[in-house]
């Protein structure tokens, strides 16, 4: 595979064009074309000869959309293909205030959570910063014309990002940080870090490192249990890091960034959503500057875990609220299109084996 040009910042592109004997302003044209989601060869402001030189070293198309599914509720799901044929998925959720895209950070995942489809075949490889960015660029390009953006040039339809696709973002730390710097860059897509949520299964040392980056992101931790023993049954990572260590790292994150943090809690029938669990969760989190997002389990056919009823989900939410926690039950969207992490890729690989 050749290199990925979307890995480069504007400054790095300037160095590159000068090295290739072009004038510096060509870097800006190249950058603008890439930020509009174009392939190298589709950027009309550059000469054919220069583009061919670039394509000797860099992939012309870093990413392609292989399949698109549109849900009855408007949610779109994409199966992306990278230059080496690897597949990941992404989701676009349309809200009144803007479009939120869910991006993947790895092909597969090695965290092994029992309810998750991304981890079924283990980790295949990390994505580069440019491959993560190219997911946003290509989806943004598709929808640019639909949104009157506040950016004079109407360049941005995607306003919010969640790093909740396949992969564990903090297990691909350097590339994810580079992606975050590039996607928030003023001359580029310029998505505010405050509109980006990074979700982790709780890799504690990397949570400290993230707090020190000085990026005002929304940090989200997948908790799913109220004690280490229960947690280890569904999340193998719980054997490496205790909930008490995770809470300490969250406290540090809050002190460093001033931002409250979030917990994801997926409701699994018979596992974590009875009255005793609600009480334990309240005891664990009460008084902390955090918010709890309850998620209904999206049942994965390769896994045996079961979702709860709506009634039980609302009862659990009620108990948390009564106990004084700030919590919401995520509206379930896109279920008819295989909305859960890794489901689309898994079923595609199945079909094509």
**Strand 196-200 and strand 158-163: pairing?**
parallel
What is the nearest approach in angstroms of ligand SAH to the Cβ of residue 178? Answer: 18
Give the whole-angstrom CA distance, residue 344 versus residue 94: 19
Q: Which is nearer to ligand SAH, 51 or 231 (CB)?
A: 231
Residue 14 host element (H or E):
helix 10-19
Measured from the CB of residue 193, what is the shortest distance to ligand SAH in angstroms? Answer: 18
CA distances in angstroms from 150 to 28, 137, 154, 187, 191, listed in the order given = 21, 18, 7, 14, 12
The DSSP code for 318 is H
Report the alpha-carbon distance of residue 54 to residue 62 in Å, rounded. 13
DSSP element (H, E) containing 112:
none
For ligand SAH, the closer of residues 41 and 330 by Cβ is: 330
Q: How far is the CB of 92 from ligand SAH (least distance, A)?
A: 16
**Smallest distance from ligand SAH to CB 116, Å:** 4
**Cβ closest to ligand SAH, residue 58 vs residue 253:** 253
Of the pair 116, 180, the CB lying nearest ligand SAH is at 116
Kindly list the residues in this chain that would bind ligand SAH in the complex (CB under 6 A).
113, 115-116, 164, 168, 199-201, 222, 264, 266, 295, 297-298, 300, 340-341
Q: Respond yes or no: is residue 81 known to be catalytic.
A: no
**Shortest approach of ligand SAH to residue 162 CB, angstroms?**
8
Helical axes 10-19 vs 25-35, angle rounded to 10°: 130
d(CA 219, CA 235): 19
CB of 67 to ligand SAH, least distance (A): 20
List 14, 59, 89, 168, catalytic entry: 89
Number of H helices, E strands in the chain: 11, 12
What would the two tokens of residue 247 be?
């809470």
Q: 3-class DSSP state for residue 180?
A: helix
Whose Cβ is closer to ligand SAH: residue 10's or residue 139's? 139
CA 198, 130, 76, 302 dihedral sign is: negative
CB nearer ligand SAH, residue 22 or residue 168? 168
- CA 232, 237, 243, 249: dihedral to nearest 10 degrees? 180
341 is catalytic: yes
Cβ neighbour number for residue 47 with a 10 Å cutoff:
10
Positions marked active-site: 89, 341
């Amino acid at each position: 595979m050749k290199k990925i040009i979307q890995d480069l910042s504007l400054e790095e592109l300037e160095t590159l064009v000068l090295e290739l004997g072009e004038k510096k302003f060509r870097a800006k044209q190249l950058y603008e074309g890439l930020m509009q989601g174009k392939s190298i060869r589709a950027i009309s402001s550059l000469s054919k000869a220069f583009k061919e030189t670039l394509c000797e070293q860099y992939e012309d198309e870093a990413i392609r959309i292989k399949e698109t599914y549109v849900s009855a509720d408007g949610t779109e799901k994409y199966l992306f293909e990278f230059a080496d044929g690897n597949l990941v998925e992404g989701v676009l959720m349309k809200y009144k205030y803007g479009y939120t895209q869910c991006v993947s950070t790895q092909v597969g995942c090695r965290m092994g959570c029992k309810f998750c489809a991304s981890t079924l075949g283990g980790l295949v490889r990390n994505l580069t910063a440019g491959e993560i960015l190219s997911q946003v660029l290509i989806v943004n390009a598709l929808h640019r014309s639909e949104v009157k953006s506040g950016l004079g040039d109407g360049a941005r339809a995607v306003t919010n990002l969640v790093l909740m696709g396949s992969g564990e973002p903090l297990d691909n730390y350097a590339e994810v940080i580079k992606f975050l710097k590039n996607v928030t860059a003023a001359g580029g897509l310029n998505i505010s870090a405050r509109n980006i949520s990074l979700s982790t299964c709780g890799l504690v040392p990397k949570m400290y490192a993230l707090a020190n980056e000085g990026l005002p992101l929304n940090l989200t931790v997948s908790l799913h249990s109220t004690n280490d023993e229960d947690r280890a049954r569904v999340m193998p990572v719980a054997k490496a890091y205790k909930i008490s260590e995770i809470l300490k790292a969250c406290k540090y994150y809050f002190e460093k960034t001033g931002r409250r943090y979030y917990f994801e809690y997926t409701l699994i029938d018979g596992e974590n959503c009875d009255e005793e669990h609600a009480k334990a969760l309240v005891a664990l989190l009460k008084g902390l500057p955090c918010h709890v997002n309850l998620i209904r389990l999206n049942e994965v056919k390769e896994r045996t875990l079961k979702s709860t009823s709506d009634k039980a989900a609302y009862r659990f939410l009620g108990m948390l609220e009564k106990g004084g926690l700030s919590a919401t039950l995520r509206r379930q969207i896109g279920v008819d299109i295989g909305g859960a992490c890794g489901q689309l890729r898994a079923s595609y690989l199945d079909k094509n084996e």
